[in-house]
A and B are shown apart, each in its own frame.
Chain A
């Protein structure tokens, strides 16, 4: 098992290296002069050629591409992600200020997704083809169809403006977490509910479930004690993939609720063509995504002996 985990780690490192190369390449491959873009981002509509040249020297943009990449990687390994074109502050500092809020929101979204998906899927499987099942499938359809920005604005208008149950401007704390977390987690919960429902029905149709029923176990015991642990494994992978989606989808939710996370920050950076920020965010997001999926792989290995056995056989 240790070798299996080590192999997964090695793959993760290679993936991260490849991503850093692609992310860094954003800058030289983007049309236009990056030094001019920096000045434009600072509001200098007509950059002077002397100013452009000075800025190219300041940011090392006049060096060969491979040297620029090496410098960038060297800085990255030391935790330095460059200087924002707009604010002229260290990107890692600005992202670090906002990362906790995004992680809190993403965690809230995951919790909402799990709390909604698991009970609904269990109900749907227990009462297959009856109204709980129909309701769950309708919920799954709506959850994946509703645009998050629309839902967010609707809830904001209803609960903040009309009912005054919460504030329109969110602060990154538990008091303001429920609504944005609900919006963020709804889509993931819908997918998760569908996958888990299908998995549960599949497990309930298997021979061991029949055997357990024959030995006198009630339907709830068969479902919760036997089928659910087996059906839950694919959900771990769905959750891991969903974390990446939550980080990306958080930008829309953060914008609607003015949640001061990385997503809102990156939306501004994209609009302003602030490439160091975009690069920094891409690297961090990729790193988190790879880490989460690595953890999901390891959890799967730990939970499912068959994976360890298959590896040993190979």
Chain B
């Protein structure tokens, strides 16, 4: 690498701004300038106003002559200075993929938004889609607009038609599913009753979801677009399962059982407005399906880039290499909000941070202690100050849009927390930590690195609980699920949700019945068990709401778990997609047919 080459690159890169800045005294030799050939370009390049590569020569209109450069630079220089500049020259010798907006000015620097035609959406996400298996990655493929379920979930957490025009109960014994006759796969095959049955059965066989009412169910294909299911047990929540993105409808004839996932790219067994054309460890490329059965998408395609490091994702957003960043860490929110040309978009979700108590261990087996912990946590402070507004303080188990929501189940009342502990006999010790019968009010609190926000959140809770005389020792564990299943813990946090696709019953059955496989806290309530059992088979919406409200009152009273903060489903976007609105959490629908760049003003 020639030293003069480095010097020239530094000269030219400063000249590329259109003004001559202070030039160091460096040697120049024309014979070294061929060094740029190794980068594939004759001159250092910058992105022009429209994203094309422009050499510095063109942008300045000046071709530095050898004589002029020699006049500007001296011939003699320190070797160390030249080495340093050679390094700068190495770094300057790179092309730049640009697009989007200049974060300094907010002015567009990338390809102009064309209102949809020809515009691709570039997404940066930390989770890699490893293959196109409908069982392994149905959730992501539905989120990115490739696959579709029978029903979809609206922003109000209601079910809406999709591949199915309706899913109506047939008494308490089953359902009638009517399919949209226009629905078809990318390969052109129509989506009929036979294919739907086969796809759902394959999901069940693969263990994607455990739906007891479909085990041993009877399927009657009345005609090509009508399915009558006689379930093995009454299940008022079956439509919600059918809306899960985890179970998309796919053409089973193109996906043999135990197929090598590597062979699935390029096959047209899904039905969404986008089709995966390429999948590598770095990127998934989706192209628009112009003749998609439910309408052509407004985008030309989607490039999903797997970028694990959040700082690298943020850098890519700033440079315009991605338009939309998923999974925004809380500590990046203030930076995004203060950067011109970038926007932080967030929608409240059903996600909550659960605080799971081990009810078999003192002092968590004491109701007063659990209630005091629940009341002493200042959720607003955590959400607004500790986590930079990336979360919000919930006051209920469920989103406010749900008809069964009971506000005020979750609340903060530090004075009440203190009174509860006083009444329970926990007296402040010399160091402020309460003591009862010689035992300190102290326990271990687990958090985990896969959710980086769990650490600062836990630290904040530690300080808040100390204020009421409760000591918690924080401990980070590698695998929180393993810790829960071992039941060798006092308290652990986990990021979860109290409902999926508008269905609260699955979570209640999985975690809160006395015999639930995931009842990690070991808590049992015959009253709650009875309510859940009734809820499992209650088809009447009004009675369902009443049962759920009673269940929430039990949560308020008995505190089997409590919650800290609620999650937003949040993204960061550049100016090209400033009008993007994120939807849910569980069924993300990150990209839909209607996703489009911001309208040009």
* A residues with CB within 8 A of B: 32, 39-40, 42-48, 51, 84, 86-89, 93-94, 97-98, 116, 119, 123, 132, 135, 153, 155-157, 159-161, 164-169, 174-176, 178-179, 182, 255-258, 260, 264-265, 267-268, 271, 273
A160-B315, A161-B315 are contacts. A123–B80 as well, Cβ < 8 Å? yes
A42-B136, A89-B262, A178-B91 are contacts. A169–B309 as well, Cβ < 8 Å? no
A46-B518, A175-B40 are contacts. A168–B79 as well, Cβ < 8 Å? no
User: Beyond the given A42-B136, A43-B139, A169-B316, could you list 6 further A-B residue pairs with CB under 8 A, ordered by the A residue number?
Assistant: A132-B80, A167-B98, A169-B312, A182-B87, A258-B309, A268-B128
- Specify which of B281, B318, B481, B517 is in contact with A94 (CB 8 Å cutoff): B281
Can you list 30 A-B contacts with CB-CB less than 8 angstroms, sorted by A residue number? A42-B136, A46-B518, A48-B207, A84-B130, A87-B130, A88-B131, A89-B260, A89-B261, A89-B262, A97-B281, A119-B83, A123-B79, A155-B91, A160-B96, A161-B318, A164-B98, A165-B44, A166-B94, A167-B97, A167-B321, A168-B321, A169-B97, A178-B90, A255-B312, A256-B309, A256-B312, A257-B312, A258-B307, A258-B312, A268-B308
Cβ–Cβ contact B96 & A164, under 8 A = yes
- Per-residue 0/1 for B192-224: is the Cβ within 8 Å of any A Cβ (1 yes, 0 no)? 000000000000000100100000000000000
Is there a chain A Cβ closer than 8 Å to B39's Cβ?
yes
CB-nearest residue of chain B to A40: B481
* Docked complex Cα distance between A257 and B312 (Å): 7
Cβ–Cβ contact B91 & A165, under 8 A = yes
Chain A residue contacts of B79, Cβ below 8 A: 119, 123
- Specify which of B39, B87, B103, B316 is in contact with A175 (CB 8 Å cutoff): B39
Cβ–Cβ contact B281 & A98, under 8 A = yes
Cβ–Cβ contact A169 & B307, under 8 A = yes
* Docked complex Cα distance between A123 and B316 (Å): 39
Chain B residue contacts of A256, Cβ below 8 A: 309, 311-312
* Docked complex Cα distance between A135 and B450 (Å): 42
Is there a chain A Cβ closer than 8 Å to B510's Cβ?
yes
Interface range on chain B (Cβ under 8 Å from partner): 35 or more
* Docked complex Cα distance between A132 and B79 (Å): 10
Tell me the B75-103 residues at the A interface (CB within 8 Å): 79-80, 83, 87, 90-98, 103
Min CB gap A138→B, angstroms: 12
Cβ–Cβ contact A43 & B91, under 8 A = no
* Docked complex Cα distance between A132 and B81 (Å): 11
Interface centre among A47, A87, A255 (most CB of B within 10 A): A87
Min CB gap A291→B, angstroms: 25
Is there a chain A Cβ closer than 8 Å to B133's Cβ?
yes
* Docked complex Cα distance between A156 and B90 (Å): 14
A164-B96, A168-B316, A268-B128 are contacts. A260–B282 as well, Cβ < 8 Å? yes
* Docked complex Cα distance between A165 and B260 (Å): 41
Chain B residue contacts of A40, Cβ below 8 A: 481
CB-nearest residue of chain B to A47: B207
Cβ–Cβ contact A165 & B13, under 8 A = yes
Cβ–Cβ contact B47 & A267, under 8 A = no
CB-nearest residue of chain B to A255: B309
Is there a chain A Cβ closer than 8 Å to B411's Cβ?
no
Min CB gap A57→B, angstroms: 14
Chain A residue contacts of B47, Cβ below 8 A: 164
Is there a chain A Cβ closer than 8 Å to B63's Cβ?
no
Cβ–Cβ contact A175 & B281, under 8 A = no
